[in-house]
A and B are shown apart, each in its own frame.
Chain A
C-alpha cells in the first residue's frame, strides 16, 4: 500500500512502519470528520426542522428553504456576495501583482515598504473598523477634510448610499488583503529562474511582453494560492460588514455570513439560518470542489 517499497519481508517492524503514518494522521482526520463534516450534516438536518432559539427536532420539510427564498434580504445578500467577492478577488490580485512586480525592480527601501503593505492583514476589523467608518463618513471623514482644505465640491458619500455602500466594503477589504497577495506574488517572482528572462531579453522582448508572455504564466501557482485564500476570506467576511456598515444603509450590505448569523442567533429563526448556511456551503462547494479536484489531480 505504501508507495515506498520495503526490501525485507513484512516483518512486525515494517508492518508497524506501514501503519504508523495512518495512525498519526488519524486524529486530524477524525477531528475534521466530526467537527467539520459532522457539523455540516447536523446543519443540513437542522435546516429541515422547526428550530427557533435552540435546536429542536420537529421536521418541517422544505419550509425553511421556502421562507428563505421568499426573503428579499437573502437575494440582496447573494447578489452582494457575488459583487463583493468578484471585485475583491480581482482587485486584490491586480494590486498585489502590480506592487509585487514594482517592488521587484531593485527598489530602494523595500525593507520598509514591504511590512507597510503587509501589516493590514495583521489587524482584525474589530480594531480598524472604527477608523474606516470615520474615514468613509462624509460628515467627519475624507469628504469633510477635503472641504476643510478648500475642495468644496468634493463628494465621497458611498457608505451612506444604498447603491454604493457595498463598494466601501470592497475598498476596506482590499486594503486588508492586497498586501498579503503582494507577498505571495513577490515570492512567486523571486522563485523564477532569472536566466530564462535574460535569454528572452536578449531575444529582444519588450518589458511588457516579457511579463505577459513569460513571467505571469509562471506565476500560476501563486495565482491559485491567492485565489484560495481570497475566496475563503470573501466568503467568511463578517467582521468587516458589522464594523463598517452593520449591514446598512437599510439592509443594502447584507452578506450571506451576516444573514446567517442574524437569523440563527439574533432573530431566533435557527431553521432559516441553517437553510441559508446549507445554500452557502453548496455555493462554496460549487466553486471550490472543481478547483481542489483539478489541483490534486494534477499533482498526483
Chain B
C-alpha cells in the first residue's frame, strides 16, 4: 500500500500543521473518543493526515454512545455547517443516509482500494446502504464475550463452560462459594448487551434475525422470546445487590479484583484487564457467551463523511477515508481499542490472544452469515426501537415484568416506536 511509507514518517510532521491551518483544506472531525488510550490511538490518524498536509480540526464530544455528539451534530447540520467526518454507530448512519443529500460519496476511494472485497458484508450494510459508500468503518467490536477470572475458576474447579446450562451451573458454583457470580452494571445498555446473547442462545441466528432485526411481532411476542427473558431472569439471580447504575468498568474491576467470577461485556472490557496488568489466558479468560459460540454480535464504529462544498475539502475528506482503511491505522487503533480491524485482510499478528481469537471468529461468522448487528449497540434496529426495547428489558431485569408480560410489552413497545 502506498500509505505505509507515509504513515511511517508521519510522526515528524505533527507540530507543523498547528500554525499553518489554511494552506491545505482541513478536516473537521466530530467524535467521542475523547480520553485515554482511544484518543491517543486516534492521534495516529491525525498524524497520518498531517503528513499529507491536511490539518485536523478536532471536535471531541464525549458521553454515552455518542449521544451528546449526535446532538451537537444536529446543531451543526441544521446550521448548514456540517463537519467533514463524524464518528457514528449503526442505525444512526442509516438515519442520516435517509436525510437526502447531506452525506458524501466515497465510491472512488472505495473502488480504488477494493473496499467491496475486504470489508464484511454485514458491515457494508451500514457503510454502503445504497449504491454509495458513505462511511469508512474503523473497527468491529463484538459484544457477546464473557470475561472470567481464571484463578478463581481454577480454585473453584470450574471449567470453561460451553453451553448455556454449563454456564448457569458455573455461575451457581461461584455463587455457592460466596463470590459475586456475575459482575454486572444495571444500566439499560448493559442489560441489553446481555439480552442480545440471551436471544441468540435461545433461538440462534434465525430467531435473532426475525425478532431483533426484522421486528416480526410473532417472534417478538412468541414462546422463544419468553424463554430469552427467562434466561435473563436466570442471570438476574447471579448479580449482586448493588448492580443498579454501576458503570461497566467498575463491574470489570470486580472480576479483576477477585470479587466476581464472570462478566458479560463487549471486547472493550479487555482494556481494563490489560491495564491492570492481567494477561489473557493466565489471569483472565475470554470466551463467547456459552450458547452463542458460533455467532458474533457486533458493533462497528465508522466515520461518516458529510458532503463538503468545495473540491479541496472533498479531496481532504477522501484522503482521510483512505487513511482510515490503511492497515497501519487499522492495527494501531484496534490494538488500543480492544476491537478488531474492520478489514478482514489485515494480519492480526500484533494483537493479543483474545483479539486473534476474535478475528478468526469474526471471519468465520462473516462467511457463514452468523455475523449479526448488536441490538444493544444500535446495529439491529433504529434508535427509537432500540430504546423501546431497552425500556422493556430493563423493566424486566429490575423485576417490573415477568417474562410473559415482558414478551407482550416487547411487541407493544416496538409497535409504538415505529
Contact = CB atoms under 8 A, between A and B. Distances in A.
Tell me, yes or no, whether A and B come into direct contact in the complex with CB atoms closer than 8 A: yes
B67 A265 contact: yes
Contacts of B64: 266
B383 interface: yes
A249 B391 contact: no
A137 B250 CA distance: 12
B387 A139 contact: no
A269 B417 contact: yes
A265 B416 contact: no
B242 A139 contact: yes
B382 interface: yes
Given A70-B416, A267-B384, A246 B187 contact: yes
B245 A54 contact: no
Nearest to A264: B71
A251 B401 CA distance: 13
Given A249-B398, A250-B394, A250-B400, A269 B241 contact: no
A248 interface: yes
A268 B245 contact: no
A248 B78 contact: no
B26 to A, nearest CB: 25
Given A267-B383, A268-B95, A250 B395 contact: yes
A215 B188 CA distance: 50
B163 interface: no
Contacts of A246: 187, 245
A269 B395 contact: no
A53 interface: yes
Interface in A263-288: 265-269
B387 A262 contact: yes
A169 B394 CA distance: 20
Nearest to B390: A251
B188 A248 contact: yes
A96 interface: no
B6 interface: no
A73 B388 CA distance: 11
B391 A73 contact: yes
A84 to B, nearest CB: 18
Interface in A157-181: 157, 159-160, 162
Output the residue of A73, A245, A268 with the most chain B CB within 10 A: A268
B152 interface: no
B245 A245 contact: yes
A255 to B, nearest CB: 16
A71 interface: yes
A268 B387 CA distance: 10
Contacts of B67: 265-266
Interface size band for A: 20 to 34
B244 interface: yes
B376 to A, nearest CB: 14
A161 B105 CA distance: 50
A248 B99 CA distance: 32
Output the residue of A265, A266, A269 with the most chain B CB within 10 A: A266
Contacts of A268: 95, 382-384
Contacts of A251: 391, 394-395
A293 B147 CA distance: 62
A267 B99 contact: no
A157 B245 CA distance: 12
B373 interface: no
B398 A269 contact: no
B241 A138 contact: yes
Contacts of B243: 160
B88 to A, nearest CB: 12
A53 B391 contact: no
A133 interface: yes
Output the residue of A249, A250, A265 with the most chain B CB within 10 A: A250
A124 interface: no
Contacts of B241: 138, 157, 160
B77 interface: yes
Given A71-B416, A250-B398, A269-B417, A54 B244 contact: no
Contact of B398 (A71, A162, A262): A162
Output the residue of B188, B240, B244 with the most chain A CB within 10 A: B244
Contacts of A17: none
A67 interface: yes
Interface of B: 64, 67, 70-71, 74, 77-78, 95-96, 99, 186-188, 240-246, 382-384, 387, 391, 394-395, 398, 400, 416-417
23 contacts: A52-B384, A53-B95, A53-B96, A67-B416, A137-B242, A138-B241, A139-B240, A139-B242, A139-B246, A159-B244, A160-B242, A160-B244, A160-B245, A245-B245, A246-B187, A246-B245, A248-B187, A249-B186, A250-B394, A262-B387, A265-B71, A265-B74, A266-B70
Given A67-B416, A160-B245, A266-B70, 9 more contacts: A53-B74, A53-B95, A54-B78, A73-B391, A157-B241, A262-B387, A266-B64, A266-B67, A267-B387
Interface of A: 52-54, 67, 70-71, 73, 133, 137-139, 157, 159-160, 162, 245-246, 248-251, 262, 265-269
What 6 pairs between A and B have smallest CB-CB spacing? A139-B242, A160-B244, A249-B244, A250-B398, A268-B383, A265-B71
